Every structure is written in C-alpha cells, then in structure tokens.
Chain A
C-alpha cells in the first residue's frame, strides 16, 4: 500500500490545525485546531500501523485519543471559566501571565 496520500493528507490537516492555533483568537476555535493537529497525528500513526502491519501505531493512536479526551475536559472547563469571568473567549485578552 502506498502511504503517501495518507501522509500528505495528515500533513495538510496538521498544517491547517497549526495555522488555526496561530491565527485564530477565539479560544474554542484554537482548541478545535489543536484537536485537528492531534487527529492529523493519529492519521499518520494509523497509516504507519497499516504499512508495517504492526499494532504499535494503533496503540499510540489510542493513547492520543485518551489524552485528547482528558485534555478536552480540562481545557473546556478552563475556557468556560475564563468566558464566565471576562465575557469573552479571545485568547489575546488573557495575557496577564507576561513580564
């Protein structure tokens, strides 16, 4: 099987995610973009598992999903808390932790 198309797709998705994180200010969107990047990585893992015929890639993808799920819980909780106190979900406004 030729994995090139899968890997290119994975790269494209990853780039979209990365650009989303860099360019979008809405916390929810940035968050979704992070998820996008994780899923791009998952696609690459699964592709790898299929190519080599081993389960390692699948297992790694499972770990990523578990971590992503855990992260979603905490991340969304934080975003909602920030939204409640500031009435805004813009990441640029939460810039208190600086010099």
Chain B
C-alpha cells in the first residue's frame, strides 16, 4: 500500500482536536494556534495530494487506504480519492482555516469548545468525501450532525435551541431512511454476490438489482441527500438554522456540509442506482428547477440577511442538482465547479456579513444602510462576493452556472429556459439586498460601524482571489473533475449528445 495520505488528511484535524485538551504546560501553542495550524497542515496535505493526483488515470479511485473494520459484514475502513472528492476536500481544506481566522470574535467565552467543533466538522466532512465504503460513509454522514448541532445550539442566536433541534431532526430523518435503505442494499448485495459488501465500487460495478428494489433503494438514499442538500420541499431547516447560527457555523454548514448531499447524488446515487436515476431524472430536474425559481422568489421577501443567504443557497443547490441529473459531462462537471464556486461565494458573503452583524448584534436588512462611505473595504468585498454569488461572468460561479445550464439544455430544453430566469431573479435579490444594506445615507445606528482592518481583509482575500481565478482559469477544477465524471458517465451508461445539426445531416 502507498503512503496513506488520505488517512493523514482525515487524522490531522482530529489530532488537532486532541491537542486542544493537552494541558498548556506541555504545548507551547495557544488553542487558537493549535486549531489554525492543524487546519493549515491539512491544507498542505490536500495540496500535496492534488499535485500527485493523476488526472489522466482512468482508475475509479486513487490513494486508496483500506483496513478491515467489521469483516463479518464486509465493512472496511476504506478511503479513496476520486476527482470529485479531491475538488470537495480542497474546498473543505481551504475554507476551514479561513473560517477559523475570520471567526475570532465568535464564541469568545467558550473558545476551546468552538474550535473543537469546527475541527470536528472539518474532519467529518473530509472523511465523508473520502469514504469509499458505504457503511463508513453512513457513519460519518450521521456523525457530521453532532458538531453542527452543538455549534448551532451553543453559539447561536436567541432561538438557537429550536434551530438546532430542527436541524438535527431533519438530519436524523434523512439518515434513518438512508440506514434502512443501506441495510436492504446490504442484503440485496449479499444474496446476489454471495458475500456481504459495503464497498461503493463493488456495489456500483457488480450489482444488478430488479427494477422495484432499485427504485425503492434509490428513493431512500435520495431522500437523505435531498434533505441534506437541501432541495425544495425539504429545505425549511436551512433558513432557520442559518438565521440562528453564527456566520462561521453557517459557512461550515452551507459552504461545506450541504455539499455532502449533492456529492452523495453524484458519487453514490448515480453509480449504484443508474437505472432508477435515469427513471427519476425528469422529476428531479423538475423539482430542482422549481426550487431554483421558488427559492429565489422567497429570498426576495426575507427581512433577515442570513435567511436571505440561506434561500439563495437553496436556489443554487437547485442548479447543482439540475446539472447532476442532466447526465451530460458538461452538466456534471459544471455542478462540481458550481459546488466550489458556491462554497467560496457563500463563505465570503457570510463572513463579510458576519463582521457587520457582530457590530450591531442583529442581521435585519433594514437596520443597516449607507455603509459605503463608512466601511468601503467591507462594501467592496461584499459586493464582489455578491456578484460571485449571482454568477457574474469572470467569477467562478459563472463557469459553473453556464456549464450546468448548457449541459441541462442538451437534454431538457424547457426546464433550462425556466431555470435561466433565475439569473434575472438573482440580480434582483442580490442587488436589492446590497442597495438596502450598503447604499443610501448612514443613519444613527450605522454611523459607528467600523470598517474591516488589514488583517480581516487579508483573511477574506483568498476567497475573492480564488473566485476570480477560477472564473478566468477554471481548468484545474475541470481537469480534476473530468476523469471522475467520465467514469460516472460510463457507470450510468450515458454519452453526451452531439450537436443537433450534424445529427440532421447524418439522417
């Protein structure tokens, strides 16, 4: 076996968590430093892996690390890297240190606990993106709920306990259904293959389920992923949670953890249940398109900044799901790029707004106004984040959105046209928000707002730089995702539709 890079990546934040509790006389670092350094070391490992990653390889996974865990049920601790995983662990590894640096003001009293939960979020997110064993995937999928539950419930706003409860109930509901489907899948596999296995690769390559079994199992897993993503109509936990959670928590939650839903669809649903995926695709595309428009419209009516961001994200998840179920290379790669772009822009939005909200202790849109003059740097960064979020060309979001729309347009023209209306709605909700919060004249309440200092600006600048970089040069993300997507296309037995004109000619 090769050098276990992936194990190292998952363990580093966990080790950091443990080090937080070693008495200070043994360690020369403060809690803050421990958390930051361990997340940075993780980032370095991820970068190393990204450089070694072979984009030309057709292998399903690379850097595999596998240990027997519960051999009697065929469960192993198996980590492996696909192109999609690499993109998403990259996003996780970049966002975590930024969140740690940008949320120094959050949870001042319970500092150590806050850092611990953030690191645990990172570790579980990394593990979930790397898991190649479905049981392991399920375990970390559920384990992720715990740190977020405590981050919301212990550090959030006045109605935090209700929000945390709602969050965990939705998570458990999805997880429970998925567990049932998982057990069923195990027995289907055990009967057919003669050995029980949870290996995602084996399940997707060797299993032939009968039609109805596949449909039910597909729905079971889809239910969990759609609640996590979240898609309409299972989305209502997200606005409540985001409203009560601190900006740092929301960044981790929406920027990283919600991607698990869409990642699951792309990396688990499609390969293991190709036929059912194809059957349900039109319905799911319809639901996704409806979600895009619906959430964009609802976002306009929100009075609270954080709730608005949550609905915007729901709208964006509609785009991502659309791209995944378009079954075209362009659409699926577009979804992968979109996930990265969405992570970056959401983080920038929440964290910049976080600096603002911290100063006023409320996030109501109407309580701000006229910040341009008082806080020009904050205004500038927020505007860039806002434009990135509405997919302005030249930003990463545009690459993702355009590829998703084009890919979907290849198969589903009418839904795509409807979804394209989303770009108009996006301009309205975002610029209207910007107008109310930042333009106009300063009022009594906003005149003592302090602008970002140099350090805070520098913390946020990687988000802006990466967004612009991937907008003009998305090749790294596309290349990495491409190999994995072409494997997925093979597994679901789909080929890209060619141009219509040449078809006409050959007929």
Is there a contact between chains A and B in the complex with CB atoms less than 8 Å apart?
A: no
